[in-house]
Amino acid sequence: MKEKLISLEEFWSLRIQVPIIDARSEGEFEQSHIPGAFNIPILSNSERVIVGTMYKEKGALEATLKGFQLVGPRFYEIQKSALTRFPEGKILVYCWRGGMRSQILSWLLSMVGFEVYRLKGGYKTYRTFTFEQVRKDWNMLVLGGKTGVGKTRLLKALESRGEQIIDLEALANHKGSAFGAIGQKPQPSVEQFENLLAEELAKKDPEKIIWLENESRRIGKIVLNDHFFDQMATSPLVDIRKQESDRIKLIIEEYSHLPTEELIAAVNRLKKKLGGLRTTEAIQDIIQGNHEGWISNMLIYYDKTYQFDLERHRPDLIEVLDLSNKDLNESIDKLLQLKSLIHGKLTNTTH
């Protein structure tokens, strides 16, 4: 069955119905890929190096022949694997530029009856889209507040009320502090994070507000691009206030069940900033199960850090909201009221 070349515009609707196969090497796939894609490499990492070297030294023809020599013995395995994993017989394939590797995979699968759609321009076309998407201008409203005020919970509750949100920490698999990686899946690469972020942004109405949690430029090993980070820094920010006892209670709920050795390791990563005495006290509290003690200790450091970051935000763009003694529904009501107020101020400013 003959393949059909598709544009990126056609890709968006087809991907909902058709499985996606990435024909690049396992290393390229691990670095970044179209979310939801499966990897069936035409050339492995080592084989790709061999063919690349051949191309530089002897030209395209010799490289092509070498590629077929390497992958040829696996043709049967590739076909059998695809037939087993995708019995519906339709598939969407891509490689780096939509060239030889996806053409070979398309040919192999067409030979055993697959209806094949091949992405014109390959992953490079998709990546150009995601790169540009995360560098567009967005209508942001930032949730700020000291550690433990429950910003992530508020985001999720806002979403359940029909608000547009982006949970950057969920996309990054990291909660943004020295303790942020504990209990999380491995972080994606920066490029893959941008792919995930771009896909979330593509679902949003750019005319409406998107709620985000206030973040530093770095979320674990993920680094936000300059334009996106600068937009967050110059957008209206809601500085949420809560009593320290409530903040400690929430942090205990989220962290007390985590492995002791990982909590200690996180405290040790902050040793230079905490100082020897406070580090020792915090570790002893963790060992003894005194979660209120070590969390109170950590908040001394994190509260100062937050205050420093807050002072870099334009004062006229900060709205303070005290949510002490407010349940989740009351808190969301207050946030939505404040959103209307902020929107009104911005509208008056631009007219």
- Give the residue numbers annotated as catalytic, written as ranges: 95
Q: Which two tokens stand for residue 81?
A: 């694997």
With contact defined as beta carbons under 8 Å apart, do 213 and 168 qualify? Answer: yes
DSSP H helical ranges for the chain = 8-14, 26-31, 45-58, 60-71, 75-85, 100-111, 122-133, 151-160, 168-172, 190-202, 226-233, 244-255, 260-269, 271-274, 276-288, 291-310, 328-350
CA 181 – CA 270 distance, rounded (Å): 14
| Contact call for residues 287 and 310 (beta carbons, < 8 A) | no
Map residue 37 onto helix, strand or coil.
coil
Residue 237's nearest CA partner among 298, 312, 292 is 312
Three-class SS of residue 332? helix
340 phi/psi in degrees, rounded to 5: -60, -40
Report the residue count for the chain. Answer: 351
Contacts of 342 (CB under 8 A, 6+ apart): 141, 236, 319
Integer Rg of the chain from CA: 25
